[in-house]
Structure 1
Amino acid sequence: MSAATLHPGAPLDNTMGSMLLGVILSAILYGISLLQSLFYFTRYHRDPWFIKTLVAATVCLDTLHLAFVIHTVYYYLISSYYNHDALQGMIWSVSLEALPTGVTAGLVQSFYAYRVWRMSNHNVFLTGIILALVLACSACGTAWVVLALEAGTYAHLLTISPLTISINALSTAADIIITSTLCFMLHRTRPVSLTSETMVNRLILFTINTGLLTSLCAVASLISLIVSPKTLIYASFYFCIGRLYSNALLASLNARDVIRGSINDIDTNFHLKSYQQRTQISRDVFARAPENTAANELAIRIENQTEVYEDHAYDKKFGRPESENTLTVMADEV
């Protein structure tokens, strides 16, 4: 939270008013993240367990954060209505709300670092820089929560303003490095066909979109802290950062079919035991016609045989260029 000081008679527009706007925007983004998570869990059943766990964790953290900020606004604007002494003190929920936001940001940025690691052919140095920024931001965030709980008032919180600015600066730097690195790696890929070029353009566009909003929100929060440290203007942005991270993660996961240009997921009514086994799927579309069926009636039976290959097996059988296979892997990683 910002280090605001609320003296008796001070206007609430740039303090509690800004906080209220932040809660409203955060609640809207929370609804969008719930919708996206529902789409994800009903669509992508074949994703690894750690990605599903990551999505579930971000949704739970978003729920916890929203509960904290709602409690904060209710305490200041309802329970402590016209109580100027209460407005100068920091309720416990206003300090703890930074914890789920920091954890969400750390989880999502670590997942992006994993992408960088895979797409950079396991570049330990580049991935290490990103993880170092993420860990530094998490450490500063934890220290901020402890110090904020000890501060007790917004006036005392002014003493740790440099730490608050450092958290936003580190988070912004990590987002910028991740987005620029992924875009550079994708741009360096040389498409061999029009389809491949379209996929690269889509990958770059989605990468920019998923990292742009979080970066802009963190920058806006940072500017508000520097320009107006004694108000809560920055709360309007900070309350939304965690939700933007979770929405960016879910948007990138749900957009994989769009990037590939088609909807190719296996129907949930069927189960493929292994990618290395050939699976035959047969269904009777129409029942066999009775023996006394008229001559002009037709009974149809359709046999669909689906063969699933590993990427290298598919390339060997059908001669698909290796670069297109690489782009498919990139699309799966978005």
Structure 2
Amino acid sequence: MSSATQDLIPQLYLGNTFGALFIGVVFAAILFGLSNIQAFFYFQTHRDTGMSFPKLTVAWLWILDALHLFLIVHCVYYYLVAHYADMSALTEIVWSFKLQIVIVVIIVYGVHLLYFHRIWIVGTGRSRVLPIAVGVIVTLGSGVAIALIWAIYQCHVFSDLTNIEWATFLALGTITFVDFIIASSLCYLLATSRTGFSSTDSMITKLMAYIINTGCLTSMCSLTVMITCAVMPHNFIFLGVDFLVAGLYVNSFFALLNARHYFQPATETNHFSEVHMRHDIYHPELNVMASQEEELQGSWKNIFKHLGRSAMPHRPIEVTVETNSFSSV
């Protein structure tokens, strides 16, 4: 090793550069493990159904998430193992780093399109102005993503990344804005779908909170990347945080698909759902309750159609009438 190279090595602080990338890979691997659990849970709860669009989307997102993890692991291995202390290699951007940016863009805007599909389904039978507006915003956001990919592939060394900060801020700002639009649109549609039944409205409220929390989580990650990039542009801490974006989006969408099963115990407590007719005794009030419950189930299915599978269990509504309960009739 030449003396000139030895003089350069102490100037490279691995802790906040490639060390930050290594920590980002560790947390990205943890998120990938969580997505494995969520995907397994989804397929287990839907094992009795045939091949469907939600199952294909889960498989597609899982494959992309696995590919993203492979690329960032290769990136860190290339710098910290294969070319450790090789200054000429440590300053250059490896191909896997550029390709993982492409995968992140595909995952993020793919999830945005899937959320738009949910908005379109939930808005069935209503004005199409809101779903169309959301679709236009998501489509325009894809143009910003293409600009980011083009800017990344113009860089050859890490010092060039400081010259494309505009593309990073524009892309992350657009992603955060689209997250806000999607979360607020879903919450608005769900809030206007209240049926007046306490159990159903309670589940809608929980799902709204779920959507807001997952949307805030992905938005906070994007904002963290923007802030760290603006404050510390000469280290790789913002890149380490950026490694988490893909896993957070995949997990947020998987969590939404599994939300029906997370909240299922609440629906099972409805005191109208399981009763048994022991004698052929007709009571008008119970008949009205049964018809209202059927209307509730139909409304609930329409709200969460295509969200994995129907949100309400397919069981007949029965009425329990004890003989001694109507001794005074």
Shorter-chain TM-score tier: 0.7 to 0.9
Deviation at 1:209, TM superposition (A): 2.5
Gaps of 5+ in 1: 1-5, 265-314
Alignment of 1:76-225 (within 5 A): 76-121=79-124, 123-225=127-229
Equivalent residues of 1:54, 1:107 under 8 A apart: no
Q: Which moved more, 1:85-94 or 1:184-193?
A: 184-193
The Cα offsets for residues 71-101 of structure 1, whole Å up to 9 and x where unpaired, read as 1101111112112222211111111111111
Which residue of 1 is the match for residue 20 of structure 2? 18
The answer on 1:70 being equivalent to 2:73 is: yes
Equivalent residues of 1:103, 1:138 under 8 A apart: no
The letter for the 2-side match of 1:29 is L
Which residue of 2 is the match for residue 277 of structure 1? none
The Cα offsets for residues 279-333 of structure 1, whole Å up to 9 and x where unpaired, read as xxxxxxxxxxxxxxxxxxxxxxxxxxxxxxxxxxxx9973436455323433455
Deviation at 1:168, TM superposition (A): 0.5
Partners of 1:226 and 1:214 in 2: CA distance: 19
Query: Which of 287, 300, 322 pairs up with 1:327?
Result: 300
Cα 1:123–1:240 change in 2 (3 A) is farther
Which residue of 2 is the match for residue 268 of structure 1? none
TM-score (norm 1): 0.75
Q: Which moved more, 1:139-148 or 1:152-161?
A: 139-148
The answer on 1:50 being equivalent to 2:50 is: no
Q: How many residues align?
A: 280
Equivalent residues of 1:98, 1:141 under 8 A apart: no
TM-score (norm 2): 0.76
Q: Which moved more, 1:320-329 or 1:73-82?
A: 320-329
Partners of 1:84 and 1:35 in 2: CA distance: 40
Runs of 4+ aligned residues of structure 1 deviating over 6 Å after TM superposition are: none
Gaps of 5+ in 2: 1-7, 269-287, 308-329
The letter for the 2-side match of 1:178 is I
Partners of 1:231 and 1:125 in 2: CA distance: 44
Deviation at 1:131, TM superposition (A): 3.0
Cα 1:171–1:75 change in 2 (3 A) is same
The alignment partner of 1:127 has SS state of helix
Deviation at 1:187, TM superposition (A): 2.5
Which residue of 2 is the match for residue 61 of structure 1? 64
Query: Which of 31, 34, 37 pairs up with 2:33?
Result: 31
The alignment partner of 2:135 has SS state of helix
Deviation at 1:125, TM superposition (A): 3.7
What RMSD, in angstroms, separates the aligned Cα atoms of the two structures?
Answer: 2.7
Partners of 2:41 and 2:79 in 1: CA distance: 36
Equivalent residues of 1:137, 1:171 under 8 A apart: yes
Partners of 1:185 and 1:332 in 2: CA distance: 13
Deviation at 1:48, TM superposition (A): 6.5
The Cα offsets for residues 216-269 of structure 1, whole Å up to 9 and x where unpaired, read as 1111112122222222111222111111111111111112133343699xxxxx
